[in-house]
């Protein structure tokens, strides 16, 4: 697994934002699959970042989220996308594809739902509506 795969979705998208906003102050290649860099944080502090693409759990950052932990933070993702911008483009293309697939799945779901509703008799529709309203009321009482 790579950096993107083990990072949380939040870290990846915030790292993308940092990459797009040029928050990587400096960087250099430090090995065949490793990079070192300095990334400016949202609080104005600079963080020292090391990423290892072959061994992503060996990547480190001295930010509060990642310091002393084996996690991938937004600063690591920003450094990765800055050092390898084609990886950022690949990720964005994949995200667009996932979004298209999700939209298609949602569309099919609502089409199937519409077919189901149209197949019901008036009495069945009334019963379903009543049950849905009761369930909505129970949810409202629990959460509001």
In this prediction, residue 44 carries a pLDDT of: 87
Q: Quote the tokens at residue 45.
A: 């502090």
pLDDT in tens, 109-136: 999 999 999 999 999 999 999 999 999 9
Rounded to 5 degrees, φ, ψ at 28 are -155, 155
pLDDT over threshold 80, residue 144:
no
Q: Which DSSP state fits 120? A: S
pLDDT in tens, 88-106: 999 999 999 999 999 999 9
DSSP string covering 7-72: S-HHHHHHHHHHHHTT-EEEEEEEETTEEEEEEE-TTS-EEEEEEESSSGGG-EE-STTTTTSS--
Measure the CA angle with vertex 91, ends 3 and 96; round to 5°.
145
Q: Answer whether 0.95 is exceeded by the pTM.
A: no
Q: Where are the domains of the chain?
A: 3-83, 92-143
Give the mean pLDDT of the chain: 95
């Amino acid at each position: 697994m790579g950096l993107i795969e083990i990072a949380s979705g939040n870290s990846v998208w915030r790292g993308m934002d940092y990459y797009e906003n040029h928050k990587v102050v400096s960087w250099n290649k430090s090995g065949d699959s490793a990079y070192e860099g300095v990334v400016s944080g949202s609080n104005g502090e600079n963080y020292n970042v090391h990423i290892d693409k072959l061994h992503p759990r060996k990547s480190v950052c001295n930010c509060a989220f990642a310091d002393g932990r084996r996690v991938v933070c937004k600063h690591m993702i920003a450094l990765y996308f800055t050092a390898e911008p084609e990886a950022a483009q690949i990720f964005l293309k994949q995200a667009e594809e996932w979004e298209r697939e999700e939209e298609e799945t949602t569309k099919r779901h609502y089409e199937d739902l519409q077919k189901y509703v149209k197949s019901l008799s008036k009495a069945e529709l009334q019963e379903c509506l009543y049950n849905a309203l009761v369930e909505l009321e129970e949810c409202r009482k629990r959460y509001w």
